[in-house]
Amino acid sequence: MSKNGLPKLLATILPPLGFFGLFLLLWHLAVTFFRIEPFLLPGPIPVAKAVSTHFHPLLNAARLTATGALGGFALSLLVGFLVALLFSQSRLIERSLYPYAIFLQTVPIVALAPLIILWIGHGMWGVIAVSFILSVFPVIANTTTGLTAVHADLRDLFALNDASALQVMVKLQIPNAVPYFLDGARISCGLAVIGAIVGEFFAGYGAEDFGLGYLIILTNAQTKTDYLFACILFSTLLGLSFFAVVGLARQRILLRWRGESDH
Amino acid sequence: MVIARNLDRVFAGGLAALEALNFEIARGAFVAIVGPSGCGKSTLLRIVAGLLEPTGGELVVKRNADAAGREAVPAFVFQDPTLLPWRRVDGNTSLPLELQRLPRAEIRQRVADALQLVGLEHYAHLFPRQLSGGMRMRASIARALVTSPELLLMDEPFAALDEISRQHLNEEILSLWRRNRWTCLFVTHSVHEAVFLSQRVLVMSPRPGRIVADIDVPFDYPRHHELRTAQEFSLIAAEISASLR
């Protein structure tokens, strides 16, 4: 960490933490003042108690959901990159297949998820498949842009030196696409977590194992609203963790492309 | 070295960019091409480089082959430095040689020589973003010179630089040319730059580009900064400006 790294980190973290504290206080005051029924909106203290009481099942569910989301995200990065490579090779291929890629983005995943579970089966692979479908499009779209948005002069420079198609791809297009790919990954990682949770609405891992998606459905059906809020809190933290890790990795890799000034 | 006979270029949609160009450029000559925006100067340079085909007439570029039988590739310096941001200065300079698949040891040596030529030998490890505009352009020139070209094509390379940097680089490019004697075609908007650098100025008309004047610049080399204020210099610049109207 650089000399002014800690103050900078505090300056980044303290304002949102302060706002969160204020939000908790207002939430508590509102619930108490308006005497809202706990099954409609529990206060922050019952939610904290629910987290404490159900900490182990929540942690285990979050671990399983994270595994599914990680699988979907990894598959999105790999398949998204390969599809973008294919698109970048020919305008005809891109024009022919791009509408189907958009389909992945626009189809209501809640409607599609039961079908996917039906075809792939319950368990981790079904969850990974739903997570993948929801998160692959940003990787395809961004990486395709990066692979094709190459400066015309550079294309000329490569042509002038009789570069092969493979050299153009490896030495020009792929490095040019890295910042775009990472931007796509940053959008995709949050979607992968949402996809895994939606997948778990319909697919379980077995009698003993369940992810956050299943817990959300279960606690909602049993009107355990404080426990439901605890699930939402864990889901949010999971999404934030994914976003933070991918964001840090992106920033680190982009140092080579953009220098220290990029955030 | 370069011979054009009745050279035409018409783009798709019928837009005529060049019309009936005739000129000959001797080996080792420094020739400037001036003309108004859109007159086809860059198109002409791209045709000479082999990046575009003429739609009529004939263009001959005589190329020698090296000991391995490889034909000399023309080198191109673009208006923007167009360096790869993810490569350091030495990595950018080595790019044409990597594409031509030369042995690594040879690449290393030639990159070091090229960087020394342009005065960037101490900046080889920096990324383009860490360089000034003038240094980036020097790196771009090093990338062109690393192939030891017979023919150097420069498309308004100093247009985006401030006047002081531009004049410095004008003097440096002349000094490099006198040592290496590649044939140079230098496209510019600046009449004064054309007169200062070249032995001969081809003046082009607005689209479709034709050569409306072919003016000799009789000053000896080396040329120094003081030449820019000489009366003869102004007279030739005035003659070219008149041809552009």
DSSP string, A79-100: HHHHHHHHHHH-HHHHHHHHHH
Is B86 in contact with A172 (Cβ distance < 8 A)?
Answer: no
End-to-end CA distance of chain B: 30
The SS3 assignment for B66 reads coil
B184 has which bridge partners? B30, B152
Q: Mean pLDDT of all residues in chain A? A: 90
Q: What is the mean pLDDT of residues B116-145?
A: 93
Suggest the residue from B42, B53, B99 to mutate for an interface test with chain A (most A CBs closer than 10 A): B99
Which residues of chain A are at the B interface, by a Cβ-Cβ cutoff of 8 Å?
A: 151, 153-154, 156-163, 167, 171-172, 175, 178, 256-259
Q: What is the mean pLDDT of residues B133-140?
A: 92
Which residues of chain B are at the A interface, by a Cβ-Cβ cutoff of 8 Å?
A: 46, 49-51, 73-76, 78, 80, 82, 84-86, 95-96, 98-100, 127, 129-130, 147
Query: pLDDT tens digits, residue range A84-106?
Result: 999 998 888 888 888 888 887 78
% of chain A at pLDDT higher than 70: 96
Query: pLDDT tens digits, residue range B43-66?
Result: 999 999 999 999 999 999 888 777
Q: Tell whether the model's pLDDT for residue B69 goes beyond 80.
A: no
For residues B143 and B92, the answer to whether their CB atoms sit within 8 Å is yes
pLDDT for the residue numbered A260? 61
Query: pLDDT tens digits, residue range A32-60?
Result: 999 999 888 999 999 999 999 999 999 99
Q: Which of A160, A163, A258 lies at the smallest CB-CB distance from B76?
A: A160
Give B128's contacts in chain A (Cβ within 8 Å). Answer: none
At residue A10 the predicted structure's pLDDT band, cuts being 50, 70 and 90, is confident
At residue B7 the predicted structure's pLDDT band, cuts being 50, 70 and 90, is very high
Tokens 């044939």 map to which residue?
B183
Q: Tell whether the model's pLDDT for residue A235 goes beyond 90.
A: yes
Suggest the residue from A151, A156, A167, A170 to mutate for an interface test with chain B (most B CBs closer than 10 A): A156
Query: pLDDT tens digits, residue range B166-187?
Result: 888 899 899 989 988 899 999 9
Whole-angstrom Cα distance, residue A132 to residue A128? 6
Whole-angstrom Cα distance, residue B231 to residue B237? 10
For residue B107, what are its two tokens?
């690449």
Residue B121 DSSP class: G
Is A160 in contact with B51 (Cβ distance < 8 A)?
Answer: yes
pLDDT for the residue numbered A133? 93
Tokens 């949770």 map to which residue?
A197
Distance from CA of A191 to the nearest CA of B (A): 29
Distance from CA of A190 to the nearest CA of B (A): 28
Torsion of CA A180, A182, A183, A185, to 10 degrees: 130
pLDDT for the residue numbered A4? 65
Strands B75-77 and B151-155: parallel
At residue A1 the predicted structure's pLDDT band, cuts being 50, 70 and 90, is very low
pLDDT for the residue numbered A240? 94
Query: pLDDT tens digits, residue range B10-27?
Result: 998 888 899 999 999 999
Query: pLDDT tens digits, residue range A128-167?
Result: 999 999 999 999 999 999 999 999 999 999 999 999 999 9
Q: Tell whether the model's pLDDT for residue A200 goes beyond 70.
A: yes
The structure's pTM equals 0.85
% of chain A at pLDDT higher than 90: 71
For residue B145, what are its two tokens?
């010179």
Query: pLDDT tens digits, residue range A164-193?
Result: 999 999 999 999 999 999 999 999 999 999
Give A257's contacts in chain B (Cβ within 8 Å). Answer: 85-86
% of chain B at pLDDT higher than 90: 76
Looking at chain A, list the stretches that DSSP marks H as alpha helix, in order from N- to C-terminal side. 5-33, 44-53, 55-89, 91-106, 109-120, 124-148, 152-160, 165-167, 174-202, 212-221, 225-258
At residue A243 the predicted structure's pLDDT band, cuts being 50, 70 and 90, is very high
For residue B125, what are its two tokens?
């490890």
Is B82 in contact with A153 (Cβ distance < 8 A)?
Answer: yes
